[in-house]
Each structure stands twice: as structure tokens, then as C-alpha cells.
Amino acid sequence: MSMNKNLFDYLSNEKDEDIFFLLGSGYDGSKGKAYLKLLDPRKQEIILLYDETNHKPYCYSKINIEELKNREDLIKAGAINFIQEKKYDPLIDSYIEVTKIIASDPLSIGGRKDSIREIIETWESDIPYHLNYLYDMNLIPGMPYKIENGILKMASSLNEINKMIIEKFNNKNEEEKKEIAKWLLLLEAEQPEIKYVSLDLEVLSPISTRVPNPAKAEYPIISIAFVGSDGLRRVLMLKIKENIENIENKEFTVTFFNNEREMLREAFNILNKYPCVITFNGDDFDLPYLKNRAEKLNMSKEEIPIIISKEGASLERGVHIDLYRFFFNKSIQVYAFGNAYRENTLDGVAKSILGRGKIEILKNLSELSSKELAEYNFGDALLVHDLATINNNLVIKLLIVLSRISMMPIEDVCRHGVSGWIKSLLYYEHRKRNYLIPRPEDIIKEKGVISTKAIIEGKKYRGAIVVQPFPGVHFNVIVLDFASLYPSALKIWNLSYETVRCPHSECKDNLIPETSHWVCKKIKGLQSLIIGCLRDIRVEWYKPKSSDKNLTQEKRIWYDIVQKALKVFLNASYGVFGAEAFPLYCPPVAESTAAIGRYAFKKAVEKAKEMNIEIIYGDTDSLFLKTKNYETIEKLIKWAKESMGLDLEIDKIYNYVVFSSRKKNYLGVTDKGIVDVKGLTGKKRHVPEFIKKAFNEMLNELKNVKNEEDFEIAKKKIENLIREWYFKLKRGDFALEELAFHIMISRKPEKYMKTTPQHVKAAKKLKSKGIDIVAGDIISFVKTKNKEGVEPLQLARKDQIDTEKYIEYLRSTFEQVLDALGIDFNNIVGVTSLESFL
DNA sequence: GCGGACTGCTTACCT
DNA sequence: ACAGGTAAGCAGTCCGCG
């Protein structure tokens, strides 16, 4: 890499108004300083800005300052200074004296066996130093900054449009307005355009079923593909023996190298030209392999621009986005992508999102010709690039927004789940307000109380209510739901770890329904304020804008990105407080939230009944009402707002719904002609394609039903198609793959101690054939007549299929719907009582 | 020694 | 390492049965 230019040299020929985007932060051990990674959007370079304020790592102790000063062990561990401070302790609602222990470097605080936090009781000693620095400097990653006299100043202010938005929130109180304005400033700020390059490498490994170990990096890298957002399309290849051939490809250019070191040198040259590198699993494979291989080939430290830490991989002058980590994130999967993909492989994600997967190779990597290898390698890099590009750079924009909300650099956002994001956000807010961040044991000591009993054994507290559905076909159904019920509960009932079971005796009469918990009447809870405001901003601004037909599509996509990012935070804000691993774990907060949810839900059900509206189903926050009377609905909505302050909304209108007596299991056709399927087996991803096709044919018939007469016609057609699919099975009229179940294996096959489910049996058979199976793999298998009853798809033959098992599966899949239609599967396929005996 | 009833494990889904 | 509630299929066990 180029030597560190001094930032001010760099700026000398820049204009004052030039802005930079803060993309990351880190700690430079050799300089003993924190630094910032700033993107220069004009040059598309990352510049490093080192701390000039002499900021040092620190933590807090409740031990008297004089006593601490005299402790040799602390000095030996790296303590360099002690300062007495007053901090607000939210758990006791008062200011306390604490001693700030300042250390020479982050490892003195924590990370070694003899670090300060191992010697004495400390507070705030587990925050990574690079985040600590951002919080203290009030720097928000993802935001634009100007540099004035060496000091960063946020280059975003509320413009006229933003002020208009704030008008919308004029009904809020002063505290809320202040908070909302702060968030709008972050969310509405200019987005950076980042030039990026995707990277993928191939290693020549003697064992094809195993991924080469990046720590050892013992085998040569034979091919490296790059796809840049600026149009770069290159493959670097190592010339190995007889594989030299002239590769002509319109899509990319190939450069051959005689020497691996020369190839890596060129690869690093390319990496250095981009401020952002995108990979799929680059944290755990591509980047560490590159670095370790380069070291093995005796390349000098200065030549290798890759930084590996236990958190992941980064670049000296760049940021690294690992899409594997990003797509693996459950919240991203569910809320940002609406469960569009289920597998965490590049092939699986790409197929679902881009509609195309990896290039299939039937041979070993080592048996490919140069041309085939280049195409395969390039194909992967292109998929990674396209995943980042799709929907107007959705992934990168989403990361930037998440970064601004969580107060974490994008690299950290990629590597952590929602609990990490919310933790970071709350820690930042504590710092800003001079709150001492409590330790988990501090909260549990006072607030480990639980007062309800869960329905599911092993769970900690009672959750939501699900109403028994009224079986049958129902026309004219309106679905009402509470907009963001749990975040609303947090907001309205002032729920936060410090306000639930607060220390004031005068608050103890402010009880949460169905629990023994009370809530503070004097202090506004931090969590309640922040989540409440984020909720309002989403519900009242970004959500409606995301479907505003007056806006351009590009604008709508942008609003949708912000809306989705907010949704991720809102949805998780309740759950994290019920998760033991969350550092602010506070069971009464989670329990109270769920209890208020039940309370609001029950009251709404009661009210609807009182208004003579027929309720046919409901789950957590939704009510399925059988009515055409919009006036009464409006009244119910108004009542919810007035009596509880909750927004009840019309979520959907169904021409009709079909219920069996199963909860979380139904089918409906909306007024827009869309067939909604919830929870039915025929829709589950692991179900064989054969069953799904049959099921989808039924949905097609149901889609066109408008009234009772249509229904009779559809029923006949459904009966016919079921008969058809049944005979296809009987006749053997199917391809083997169509009958495969695809089930995810959640651990290694040998880790199943209690039972051996079918997919594990299949996985073990694969393993015995030398195929490596790891947690998260999707196992494809068919049901067979052999003694185990299963065979992995790869090893199965068509004549082994146990047809009866599939007929049974077809039956149970259809029964979930046929029950309600009054159709009997067995009657259709002609199973008479006599036949079933035989 | 067999088979139905039952429990527990596992996965996928809903909100 | 966000939560609890529900469905379904299968594995394994218990218990009655001359």
C-alpha cells in the first residue's frame, strides 16, 4: 500500500466545502491511536484520519479514586490515569461517583488475562475501542462530514423539505420532537456513491470435497476474479503446466501469470484502487487466504493491504463487505428480503434474488480447463457484484442506513446481528446522556422477576394470543392489525429496562396488566423514547412514502429501504430484552410488552364482539372480521386510537378466506386477486416439487373464485386435478428430483444424539460416500422402501421410491384446504373402505 | 414379540 | 445469539396383550 499520507497534505489542494463519508474506524497499535476511514467521493479513495485529541481507552470503577491510584496491579496492567466523575445511574435514578480508569491501549482494558477488567469490577469495559471512539466523538458512521480545522463536522443539516417533514410531527412533545429531528437528520442525509469491486478466488486443492484451510494457505491460488462497479471485469490466472490456452471471452479479460506472487501483487493493485471490496464469505475464506498465502510466498507486509482480526477481514484503505454474513442475518432475510431466499449459499441466495445461480461444474476444479475455470471463477464474482447492485444498490444503501441507526461502521453491521446493532445504538445513547451503562448482573439483580407462565414448555414467559379459526370458507373478510403493536406498547407504556420495576415507591401502583410489574411515572424510559420515535417516523413518513404513486420509482425504492431498515430495529427491539445474551437483558420488559400486546388484543376482540362484528380468526395483532360494513370498522379503529392510543389499520381485504381448524394455517384471495397462503404445507420450502406443483394448480383454480357458484365449479376442477396427480404417482410419471424433500441440517450429522431424523439418515449416507456435510447444508432425499426409509437424492434410483408415502403426503397437504371445502381426498382417489383394508 | 398410544425431537412456519 | 406460539412427521418408548 502507499505510505500514510498526512490528511492535511491531502487536503491542501481541496476545497473547504468538500465532504467525506465516514465509513469506518479502527485502532492502530503501532501509533497507539484511533483512526477514521473516510471516503472521498470524488476520488473514490479512502483516507485515514488519525485522532489528534489524545483520546484513550478507558472504563469505569466504583472504587474510590485514591484506592485505585495506589494499586500497583492496575498500573502494571496499563492504567495511566484516574479521574473522578459523576455519572447518572439509570437503575437507581440518581447520580453516583465513579472513577474513570484511562489506559494506554485497548488491550489494557480487556482482552488479556491480566487486563484491568479481569482484576477489578469494571463498567463499560467491553465496548470495542473503535466504537467507543465514535460514541465519544459523536461521530455517526455512514454520514457525510466536512473537515474544518482538522475537526470533523457533520455536513448534513435539515433543509426545507426536512423541515416540512418535521411539521408532520408537530403533535409530538418537545422531547420527542428533538429525538425525531435527530433521526430525520441521519435518515435524510445524502447517500454516498461508493465504487466497489467484488472478489472471488479459486484454490487448487488436492481434496475437492473440503474447503482449503485459510490459516494454512498451503495450496496455490490459481484464479482470482474481479468485477468492479466501474466496469472492470478481469480474471487473473496462474499458468499451470499444459493448461495454457488462448481464452477469448467478451465478458472479461484474462491475464496469465507465471508466478503466483506476481499474480497476488496485481490482485493487491486492483484491491487498492477500490474503497470497497465485496465478497461472499471473504471474512472467513478469500481475504485471509490471500493474506496468508502472500505471507507464505514471502511478500512483504507493506505489499499486503489486508487486515485480519478476530472480527473479520478488512483492508488498509478500504472497507470490506462480506455478503455471506449479511445475507445470513436472520433479520435481513426475513424483514428486508421478505424470506425470498432460504439457503445461505451463494448459489441459493443468487438464484432467489437474481434468478440465476452459480455455473454448474461436473468435474473437479483441478480437472477444468483454463477457460472453464476462468468462466466459473468470473461467474461467482459477477454474482457477488450483481447481488450488491440489484435494486439500485439496495444492499449498500441498506447497510449505510443500518450503519447510521446502529452507530456502527458498515463492516461491523455486516458482522453482527440485530442484538449487536441495538446494543450499539443504546450504548451510544447512554454515552450521549452521561448514563452509566449497567452490567447484565446489575439489571438481573433487581429485575430478574418473571410473573407469567409460557404455554410452550421451556420458554420464559407468556407470549401472544392466537384465536382458534372458525373453519370453512368465508366471503368478505377484512383484516385489521395494530401497526407495530410491540413498539407502540414500548412507546405508550414507557417500557425500558430502567422504568419497568423502577426504584420509586410512588410508581408501584402503575401496574402492567396480567403481571406484577409496574412502570415509572416520573422518568421517560430511554428505550421507550427511541423506539417510539423510530416507530412514528416509520409509520408516519417512510412507510406511506414507500408506496406513494406520486413519487418516482427510484424515490420509492429509497423510502422502502429506510422503511425496511427501521422495521428491522422495531421488530427486534422487543425480542432482545427477552434474550439472555443481550447485555441489557431485562425479562420484565419483554414480558410486559407481550402482556400489553395481549391486553390490547383482547380488548379489541371484546369491542368487536360488542359491535356485533363476527371474528373468525386473529393472531397476536391481527383480527379477521367477517363484514362488509366499513362504517363499523372505522368506528372500531377510532375506538382503538381513543381508548388505547393504538393505531388499528386495515391491513388486507379478502374476497374470501379458507380456514381449517388449524391456527397459523390459511389461504385467502385478496381484493387485488392475490392468493395469500400462510403456513400450509404446500407452500413450505422443504416440500417436494411434485407436491408443490399439484398444490399450486389448486391455488390457480381458487384464484378465480368470486362467489359461491364459482366455488362449485372450482371444486370439480380441484377434484379432477387431484385425481390426475394421484395417478401420476401411481404410474411413476415423475422425475426423481421432483420427489426430493430439501431439509436444512442444523448441526453436523454426528451431533444428533437423541434421534436420527430422516434428513440426518440421508446426510450420514452421503458422508459415508466422502461428501462433507456441515451445519446449514440443505439435504435432499427421497422416501424409499429400503430399511432406512430414505435415500439421498444423489444416490437414489426411481424404482426405490415408496409411492404410498408420497400419496400420504399429498393427502395431508391437500387436506389442510379440502377440509374446509367439504372435499374428501380418499373419496376422490377412489380409496373405498374395502380398498383401504387391503 | 408386536402394535397402538404417547412423548419428545426436529424443522418450518406465523406474528 | 431478538421473542413466543403452532403444525407436522418421525423416532423412540411404554404398555397391554394369553
Query: What pLDDT is stored for residue A788 in this prediction?
Result: 85
- Rounded mean pLDDT of A140-145? 96
Query: What pLDDT is stored for residue A338 in this prediction?
Result: 83
Statement: residue A832 has pLDDT above 50: no
- Write out pLDDT tens, residues A710-751: 999 999 999 999 999 999 998 989 999 999 999 999 999 999
Any idea which nucleotide's C1' is nearest the CA of A743?
A: B11
Region label for A93, one of left (φ > 0), alpha (ψ between -120 and 50) or beta (otherwise): left
Burial of A352: CB neighbours in 10 Å, binned 0-12, 13-18, 19+:
middle
Statement: residue A164 has pLDDT above 80: no
Enumerate helices (H) and strands (E) in chain A, giving the number of each: 29, 26
Query: What pLDDT is stored for residue A9 in this prediction?
Result: 46
Nucleic strand B under 7 Å from the C-beta of A246: no
**Exposure on the CB side of residue A644, measured as CA atoms within 13 A:** 23
Statement: residue A837 has pLDDT above 70: no
Any idea which nucleotide's C1' is nearest the CA of A755?
A: C11
β pairing state of A276-279 and A196-203? parallel
Nucleic strand B under 7 Å from the C-beta of A377: no
- Write out pLDDT tens, residues A663-716: 999 999 999 999 999 999 999 999 999 999 999 999 999 998 998 899 999 999
Task: List bases, strand C, within 7 Å of protein CB.
Answer: 1-12
Q: Which grid coordinates are listed for A475?
A: 366471503
Distance A790 CA to C6 C1' (A): 27
Distance A684 CA to B12 C1' (A): 7
Statement: residue A7 has pLDDT above 70: no
Alpha-carbon distance A542 to A557, whole Å?
11
Name the residue with the least CA to C1' distance from nucleotide C7: A662
Backbone angles phi, psi at A170, to 5 degrees: -65, -20
| Nearest one of A811, A667, A402 to A394, comparing CA atoms | A402
Distance A763 CA to B10 C1' (A): 15
Any idea which nucleotide's C1' is nearest the CA of A330?
A: C2
Query: What pLDDT is stored for residue A825 in this prediction?
Result: 87
Count Cβ atoms below 10 Å from residue A314 Cβ, excluding itself.
Answer: 23
- Rounded mean pLDDT of A779-797? 91
Statement: residue A540 has pLDDT above 50: yes
Alpha-carbon distance A558 to A392, whole Å?
9
Nucleic strand B under 7 Å from the C-beta of A679: yes
The DSSP secondary structure of A479-499, one letter per residue, reads EEEETTHHHHHHHHTT--TTT
- Rounded mean pLDDT of A123-138? 96
Distance A759 CA to B4 C1' (A): 26
Residues 398-417 of chain A in contact with strand C via CB under 7 angstroms = 416-417
- Taken in order A339, A343, A346, A348, is the CA torsion positive or negative? negative
Q: How far apart are the first and last CA of chain A?
A: 78
Alpha-carbon distance A201 to A268, whole Å?
13
- Write out pLDDT tens, residues A620-654: 999 999 999 999 999 999 999 999 999 999 999 99
Distance A111 CA to C1 C1' (A): 21
Count Cβ atoms below 10 Å from residue A831 Cβ, excluding itself.
Answer: 15
Residues 264-323 of chain A in contact with strand C via CB under 7 angstroms = none
Nucleic strand C under 7 Å from the C-beta of A567: no
Residues 660-679 of chain A in contact with strand C via CB under 7 angstroms = 662-665, 679
Statement: residue A194 has pLDDT above 90: yes
Any idea which nucleotide's C1' is nearest the CA of A624?
A: B15
Statement: residue A15 has pLDDT above 60: no
Name the residue with the least CA to C1' distance from nucleotide B10: A757
Distance A740 CA to B7 C1' (A): 29
Statement: residue A489 has pLDDT above 50: yes
Nucleic strand B under 7 Å from the C-beta of A776: no
- Rounded mean pLDDT of A62-83? 93
Query: What pLDDT is stored for residue A278 in this prediction?
Result: 97
A653's enclosing H/E stretch is strand A648-659
- Rounded mean pLDDT of A582-597? 97
Query: What pLDDT is stored for residue A206 in this prediction?
Result: 79
- Write out pLDDT tens, residues A310-356: 889 999 999 999 999 999 898 898 888 888 888 888 998 999 899 99
Nucleic strand B under 7 Å from the C-beta of A433: no
Task: Using pLDDT thresholds of 50, 70 and 90, give the confidence band for residue A155.
Answer: confident
Statement: residue A11 has pLDDT above 50: no
Statement: residue A14 has pLDDT above 80: no
Query: What pLDDT is stored for residue A158 in this prediction?
Result: 66
Any idea which nucleotide's C1' is nearest the CA of A571?
A: C2
Alpha-carbon distance A478 to A626, whole Å?
6
- Rounded mean pLDDT of A494-518? 96
Statement: residue A150 has pLDDT above 80: no
Statement: residue A225 has pLDDT above 50: yes
CA A404 to chain centre: 16
Statement: residue A5 has pLDDT above 60: no
Query: What pLDDT is stored for residue A162 in this prediction?
Result: 67
Any idea which nucleotide's C1' is nearest the CA of A422?
A: C2
Distance A617 CA to C6 C1' (A): 14
Query: What pLDDT is stored for residue A18 in this prediction?
Result: 84
Statement: residue A196 has pLDDT above 90: yes
Nucleic strand C under 7 Å from the C-beta of A450: no
Query: What pLDDT is stored for residue A13 in this prediction?
Result: 46
Nucleic strand B under 7 Å from the C-beta of A748: no
Residues 805-834 of chain A in contact with strand C via CB under 7 angstroms = 805, 809, 812, 816
Q: Mean pLDDT of all residues in chain A?
A: 91
Q: What percent of chain A has pLDDT over 70?
A: 95
Task: List bases, strand B, within 7 Å of protein CB.
Answer: 8-15
Name the residue with the least CA to C1' distance from nucleotide B13: A679
Nucleic strand B under 7 Å from the C-beta of A622: yes
When comparing pLDDT for A268 and A149, which is higher?
Answer: A268
Any idea which nucleotide's C1' is nearest the CA of A620?
A: B15
- Write out pLDDT tens, residues A362-420: 888 878 888 899 999 999 999 999 999 998 899 999 999 999 999 999 999 999 999 99
| Nearest one of A26, A99, A30 to A68, comparing CA atoms | A99
* Residue matched to cell numbers 360488542: A610
Distance A487 CA to B2 C1' (A): 56
Between the alpha carbon of residue A745 and those of residues A121, A127, A339, A779, A788, the distances in Å are 42, 34, 18, 7, 18
Backbone angles phi, psi at A527, to 5 degrees: -60, -45
Distance A94 CA to C11 C1' (A): 57
The angle that helices A587-610 and A440-447 make with each other, rounded to 10 degrees, is 50
Nucleic strand C under 7 Å from the C-beta of A464: yes
